[in-house]
Amino acid sequence: MTTVQRAYRDDAAVARLRYDEQVVRWNEAAASLSAAAEVHEIRSARIAAATAGLVGTATLVVTGVVAFAAIGLRPSGLLGAILASTWIAMGVAHVVARRRAAARARRAAVAPAPTDDPWADLAGLAASPPGAALRDLAMSQERASASLPLMALALLLPLSIHGLLFAVATVMTGTASAIGAFDGWICLCAVVVGHAHLALAWFGRDFAGRLASLRDEELVFEAERRARKAYWSTVGISALPGAVLLLLPPILTAITGVLFCGPLFRGIAFKIWQERQLLGGRSAA
């Protein structure tokens, strides 16, 4: 064995020893990053559930248009079933996405596998701090985890609240005609105040888009302000055809919206605030 080969082998042994020491420290540090993993899981689940909600809403609209064109407003209960199924799909998506995110977080907490080049392994550990990628991923999910739920719930909650009232009417009357008639009500709402639902979803998306510029202590205050603006603007927008319908659309929108608009914006803002604290807090850029 030449002197160069012996020196290289000795250097490699030292590098491998240093790598093993660094791996121990890496794993110890990674074990303390449960906060980033938790935020990633929560946000991933929220994004998946909201996506399922938006897909369900699109399915509801398309089915309603096709059904109306084919058979008119016959009370079949199909649209109500799609609405209820959308909530179930959201729950399933939430559970599945959270489990997948948890598995992803567990993988991120394991040090990279060693290769035949101990120096490259050392460099890799130094270039990839434990959990850094996971924390960056959790932070990058902030906007989507706020905008998608706000949009999905803005579209789903009004009809769902009405659906509960129809369900109560069905129980009280003892007949299925009331819940079957809900299909016609869904179509009527889509035509008369569908634009108001879309406006509320846009206000939610706009609020989520401004989160990055808000300091932690500004979140809830801004959510309150945005919720009031979204509520009254939506009521006003719903009044556009209301003059010819005895102002029924804005009255109905005002009553329905007051039940969830403020809590929806405040709830999302509070969740984002909590998650920011888990990630160490963040101020506006």
pLDDT of 62-112, one tens digit each? Answer: 888 887 766 665 667 788 889 999 999 999 999 999 999 998 887 776 666
User: Could you give the CA distance from residue 72 to residue 57 in angstroms, rounded to a whole number?
Assistant: 20
The contacts of residue 68 (CB under 8 Å, 6+ apart) are 187
Q: Specify the pLDDT at position 213.
A: 87
At 64 the pLDDT is: 83
Rounded Cα gap, residues 147 and 145, in angstroms:
6
Round to whole Å and give the CA distance between 155 and 198.
Answer: 7
| Mean pLDDT value across the chain | 80
In this prediction, residue 148 carries a pLDDT of 96
| Percent with pLDDT over 70 in the chain | 72
Q: Provide the 3-class DSSP secondary structure of residue 2.
A: coil
Residue span of the structural domain in which 205 resides: 33-110+141-278
Q: What is the pLDDT of residue 13?
A: 72
Query: What's the confidence (pLDDT) of residue 179?
Result: 64
Residue 147 counted as domain residue: yes
In angstroms, the CA 230 to CA 232 distance is 6
Please check whether residue 75 lies inside any domain of the structure: yes
Q: Would you say residue 9 has pLDDT above 70?
A: no
Residue 117 lies in a domain: no
Least confident of 162-166, 241-245, 262-266: 241-245
Is 6 a member of any domain? Answer: no
Residue 134 lies in a domain: no
Contact 105, 40 (CB under 8 A): yes
Name the percent of the chain lying above pLDDT 90: 32
The number of folded domains in the chain is 1
Average pLDDT for residues 219-234, to the nearest whole number? 90
Global model pTM greater than 0.85: no
- Cα angle 254, 255, 257 (rounded to 5 degrees) comes to 65
pLDDT the model gives residue 100: 94
Residue 2 covered by a domain: no
* Domain-embedded: residue 102: yes
Q: What is the pLDDT of residue 111?
A: 63
Residue of higher predicted confidence among 28 and 148: 148
Residue 122 above 80 pLDDT?
no
The verdict on residue 27 lying in a domain is: no
Please answer whether residues 197 and 155 qualify as being in contact, where contact means their C-beta atoms are separated by less than 8 angstroms.
yes
Report the distance separating Cα 233 and Cα 203, nearest Å: 9
Residues 6+ positions from 180 with CB-CB distance below 8 Å: 75, 76, 77, 80
